[in-house]
Amino acid sequence: MDFFAQLPALPVVVPFVAAPMALLMPPGRIPWLWAVLVSWVSFGLSLLLLEQVWVNGPVTYAMGGWAAPLGIIYYIDLANALVLSLVTGIAAVVFPYAYNSVRDEINHGQTPGFYTALLLCLAGLIGVTMTGDAFNVFVFLEVSSLATYTLVAMGAGRDRRALTAAFNYLVMGTIGATFFVIGIGLLYQATGTLNMLDLHERLAGQDNRLVKAAFAFIITGLGLKLAMLPLHLWLPPAYTYAPSAITAFLAATATKVAVYIMLRFLFTVFGFDFPFLKVALDFFLVLGIAGMFIASLAAVFQDDVKMLLAYSSVAQIGYMLLGISLGTVDGVAASLIHVVNHAFIKAALFMAVGIVVLRLGSHQLRAFQGLATRMPWTSWGIVVAGLSLVGVPATVGFVSKFALLSAVFAKGGTMEIIAGFLILASSLLAVIYMMRVIKVMLQPVPTDGPFAGPVAAPPLTMRLMLWIMVGVNIYFGLQAQPVIAIAQKAAATLLGVDSGEAF
Amino acid sequence: MMGHLILRVVIKLLFAPILLFGLYVQFHGDYGPGGGFQAGVIFASAFILFALGFGLKETQKHLPPTVLPFFMVFGLLLYALTGVLGLFMGGNFLDYYVLAPDSHHNAGQHIGIILVEFGVGVAVFSAMMTIFYFFAGREPEIHDADW
């Protein structure tokens, strides 16, 4: 077996083989150790793959030896490799963090099932990012989504509302997946192929109602999956009532992978030759700005910190859509940069909230009263990640806001200039809702009520993993160049500026 | 007890042919219509029919719910490890040619697809039974304490 020739298959094969094994392990520590090990191996493999793609250009891998366009191929260019490294990297930090929080929130006997679902979710997300086959995207999207519904529902041990949240998510997510697969079916009818690169070639010059309908179905379906503004209603409850570790993992990966797939379909499959693309991009501009404001405003009025951060996630999706809507290399690169950076920010914030939930048993804002004296390390984590969310210099949030603003002003249309100022205005909303949390944290420790009394120090692994994530926020805020360079090159490949030698 | 006599006799008569049909669909799947998914559902439907006539307890005596996770894991692993076997024998993931490289009749493909489909069949069967057991064994009402 030639390791480097097989490398493109391994990141998805390893968690997929490991997931069922976890189900047979005795409950408790062992399945967790297994999941951690798998996440680290996947992360290592992803980094190797990223390096290979960076040095040698796109990698193609034919599943089962069946060549494209008939077989399923894995086609990995920089955009995939970047999102892939992000997903596995987040997993490598969140999985170790999960142990104490899962022990507290999940029924002991259910832990093997929990980690099985977690690994399946990881395998699905990795599969979505790596495949170059449109139908395969749907399959892996469903693998990860079904695992996600289960994981969200497992929050029921702490709060029964997790069940309705998971059911809501199930219904909405399935509608999204159905729309997506209808779109794929229509494309298949129009072209007779499912391979993304082949689809692009065969769609060239086609501008009929069938293809337009397929486009609309795919965009709407993916819009549901990535919580684009009017389709976002499943997200806040699902993130709020899911177990803490799951929220941290999903917020940083699931919607991000959907954004990547959106980019893939917009630019690799349809491309600028497709006249209808402009309509969608204009639409994204409006929806992105609406998302930034409506969801941020909703976040300001939340009394539940997880709900607040979930609405903030919807708002941040708005920034990504805005970047995509520009349709320029800079815009798409800014969108990709924000995908990565926002994943770092939200993972850190939700991990910090998870620590509070572990010790105080609640994610209500009231529980955060006096947190600065009770848990100084966790509080500092929230402050730094919060500043990063707002976009203060020396954090990753600044890097992505700056990239987005430069892209917007470089485009230079009237709408874009207005959008640029609206980005700045909506950042102020982020200041308001993060300040609400920080203000409560700085208040004195409550002397009576449910959250009074001494609190034990949080477990070391959780704090350590939180601070690794916070450290990543600062590190890539100062050393922004690697992410920016990869995102720029990835965006250029996606938009076809230097592609052409696809097969 | 006696009221179900005809049903029970018919179920007993049908039970074996349904299983046989399931096996036919399973192992004929690489030549004709069928395959692991359909076979797993048919196979499970025999047990579900049995449970409808003879009750959940009696069914679980013959097919305990505790063995089902093992079947599920076995099925999934059989699929995945067949793919991995291709990796280790020098092909790509899920490449079955390398399982019997010297065959002129593409025997490798047959071996591969039969193993994979068998894995699918076992996994689908046990998943169906797990779902059925959970729904059938559900407590009829939710107690106040559970909310």
| Chain A interface disruption, residue of B37, B81, B85, B94, most A CBs within 10 A | B94
Residue among B73, B91, B94 minimizing CB distance to A23: B73
Tens-digit pLDDT profile for residues A278-301: 888 888 999 999 999 999 999 999
pLDDT score of A267 more than 70 = yes
A213: confidence class by pLDDT, cuts 50, 70, 90: very high
Q: Cβ–Cβ of A64/B92 closer than 8 Å?
A: yes
pLDDT of residue A16: 92
Question: How far does A248 lie from chain B, in Å, by closest CA?
Answer: 26
Residue among B76, B96, B147 minimizing CB distance to A20: B76
**For residues A235-239, average pLDDT:** 93
**For residues B60-74, average pLDDT:** 92
> How far is A195 from A173, CA to CA, in rounded Å?
24
pLDDT of residue B141: 62
- φ/ψ of residue A304, rounded to 5: -115, 125
A503: confidence class by pLDDT, cuts 50, 70, 90: very low
pLDDT of residue B140: 63
Is A77 in contact with A493 (CB distance < 8 Å)?
Answer: yes
Task: Please report, rounded to a whole number, the percentage of residues in chain A having pLDDT higher than 70.
Answer: 98
pLDDT of residue A271: 85
Task: Give the nearest chain A residue to B95 (CA atoms).
Answer: A64
Beta bridge partners, A59, equal A76
Q: Cβ–Cβ of A6/B94 closer than 8 Å?
A: no
| Chain B interface disruption, residue of A17, A38, A150, A164, most B CBs within 10 A | A17
> How far is A300 from A451, CA to CA, in rounded Å?
23
- Burial (CB count <10 Å: 0-12, 13-18, 19+), residue A412: exposed
In the structure encoding, which two tokens stand for residue B72, read together? 């599920």
User: CA–CA distance from A420 to each of A284, A288, A291, A368, A471 (Å)?
Assistant: 15, 12, 14, 34, 29
**Whether ipTM exceeds 0.90:** no
**For residues A32-56, average pLDDT:** 93
Q: Cβ–Cβ of A20/B83 closer than 8 Å?
A: no
Q: Cβ–Cβ of B87/A17 closer than 8 Å?
A: no
> How far is A49 from A234, CA to CA, in rounded Å?
34
> How far is A215 from A198, CA to CA, in rounded Å?
16
Q: What single letter denotes the amino acid at residue A387? A: L
Q: Which of A1, A124, A12, A136 is nearest to A66 (CA)?
A: A136
- Burial (CB count <10 Å: 0-12, 13-18, 19+), residue B142: exposed
- φ/ψ of residue A448, rounded to 5: -140, 180
Long-range contacts of A170-176 (CB under 8 A, 24+ apart): A171/A234, A172/A224, A172/A231, A172/A233, A172/A234, A173/A145, A173/A148, A173/A149, A173/A224, A173/A225, A173/A234, A174/A145, A175/A221, A175/A224, A176/A220, A176/A221, A176/A222, A176/A223, A176/A224, A176/A225, A176/A231
Is A495 in contact with A267 (CB distance < 8 Å)?
Answer: yes
Q: Cβ–Cβ of A23/B69 closer than 8 Å?
A: yes
Q: Cβ–Cβ of B80/A20 closer than 8 Å?
A: yes
Quick one: CA torsion of A205, A208, A210, A212, rounded to 10 degrees?
A: 80
pLDDT score of B55 more than 80 = yes
- Does any CB of chain A come closer than 8 Å to the CB of residue B107? no
- Helices assigned H by DSSP within A226-276: 235-241, 244-263
- Does any CB of chain B come closer than 8 Å to the CB of residue A115? no
**For residues A14-20, average pLDDT:** 92
Is A384 in contact with A333 (CB distance < 8 Å)?
Answer: no
Q: Cβ–Cβ of B95/A1 closer than 8 Å?
A: no
Chain pair A-B, CB pairs under 8 angstroms: 52
Task: Indicate if the alpha-carbon torsion angle A389, A155, A127, A40 is positive or negative.
Answer: positive
A370: confidence class by pLDDT, cuts 50, 70, 90: confident
pLDDT score of A497 more than 90 = no
* Residues of chain A contacting B89 with CB distance shorter than 8 Å: 1
DSSP element (H, E) containing B146: none
> How far is A456 from A433, CA to CA, in rounded Å?
28
A502: confidence class by pLDDT, cuts 50, 70, 90: very low
Q: Mean pLDDT, chain A, as a whole number?
A: 90
pLDDT of residue A169: 94
Q: Which of A495, A459, A454, A487 is nearest to A244 (CA)?
A: A459
- Helices assigned H by DSSP within A57-71: none
> How far is A422 from A406, CA to CA, in rounded Å?
14
Task: Indicate if the alpha-carbon torsion angle A19, A22, A27, A32 is positive or negative.
Answer: negative
> How far is A487 from A78, CA to CA, in rounded Å?
8
User: CA–CA distance from A312 to each of A249, A305, A315 (Å)?
Assistant: 16, 10, 5
Half-sphere exposure of A471 (CA within 13 A, CB side): 8
pLDDT score of A459 more than 70 = yes
* Residues of chain A contacting B83 with CB distance shorter than 8 Å: 13, 64
**For residues A116-128, average pLDDT:** 95
Residues 36-65, chain A: which have Cβ within 8 Å of B? 61-65
Is B75 in contact with B122 (CB distance < 8 Å)?
Answer: yes
pTM (two decimals): 0.92
pLDDT score of B111 more than 80 = yes
pLDDT score of A499 more than 50 = no
Task: Give the nearest chain B residue to A2 (CA atoms).
Answer: B90
Residue among A16, A62, A160 minimizing CB distance to B92: A62
- Does any CB of chain B come closer than 8 Å to the CB of residue A21? yes
Q: Cβ–Cβ of B73/A62 closer than 8 Å?
A: no
Domain ranges of chain B: 2-146
- The single residue listed with the structure tokens 């390398």 is B98
Question: How far does A290 lie from chain B, in Å, by closest CA?
Answer: 37
pLDDT of residue A47: 94
Residue among B69, B80, B147 minimizing CB distance to A17: B80
**For residues A434-458, average pLDDT:** 86
**For residues A441-470, average pLDDT:** 87
* Residues of chain B contacting A23 with CB distance shorter than 8 Å: 69, 72-73
**For residues A328-336, average pLDDT:** 92
Q: Cβ–Cβ of A64/B86 closer than 8 Å?
A: yes
Long-range contacts of B28-31 (CB under 8 A, 24+ apart): B29/B113, B29/B117, B30/B110, B30/B113, B30/B114, B30/B117
CB atoms within 10 A of CB A219: 24
pLDDT of residue A305: 92
Q: Cβ–Cβ of B95/A65 closer than 8 Å?
A: yes
pLDDT of residue B129: 94
Q: Is A73 helix (H, G, I), strand (E, B) or coil?
A: strand
| Chain B interface disruption, residue of A12, A24, A158, most B CBs within 10 A | A24
Tens-digit pLDDT profile for residues A336-360: 999 999 999 999 999 999 999 998 8
Quick one: CA torsion of A49, A50, A54, A55, rounded to 10 degrees?
A: -30
B144: confidence class by pLDDT, cuts 50, 70, 90: low
CB atoms within 10 A of CB B100: 16
Q: Cβ–Cβ of A21/B97 closer than 8 Å?
A: no
Higher pLDDT, A503 or A192: A192
